[in-house]
Amino acid sequence: MRLITHIVFNGQCEVAFKVYAECLGGEITFLLTYAESPMAASAPDLADKIVHATLKLGDQTLTGVDVSAAAYEAPRGFNLQLNLNDAGDAQRIFATLAEGGEVRMPLQKTFWAEHFAVLVDRFGVPWEVNCGPGA
């Protein structure tokens, strides 16, 4: 069994996945718009939006979709946690994800990690960046 995170976006899936691919060193392996899918007729207002995206990050997978503004709900009750070993990577990734977003806890030393931060990126996705011995 594998657990895969599927993120729902309010029209920003493609842009978000491009940022994530660049920032996290991943590869977008699948990107399909509603217009290119069998759902084209049922969602004409979403024609240029993403019905399914897949991002490979090493042996991990992140998937995503755009939904209509009426169906969108902001993520809550969880964070996507990145566990890193390199402080430089933690700082770079934090800076990229925090750009245009909301920093809830700046990158800092904690009792379990050399670097830890909590933020919501500009796409509304909540993240934790965790780096060091506790990662």
Per-residue pLDDT tens digits for 94-108: 999 999 999 999 999
Full set of structural domains in the chain with CATH: 5-66 (3.30.720.100), 80-131 (3.30.720.110)
Angle ∠(102,107,113) on CA atoms, nearest 5: 135
CA–CA dist 102, 47 (Å, integer): 30
Q: Is the pLDDT of residue 6 over 70?
A: yes
Residues 107-119 have a mean pLDDT of 96
pLDDT (tens digit per residue) in 35-92 = 999 988 888 999 999 999 999 999 999 999 999 999 999 999 999 999 999 999 999 9
Give the confidence band of 134 by pLDDT, cuts at 50, 70, 90: low
H or E element that contains 5: strand 5-9
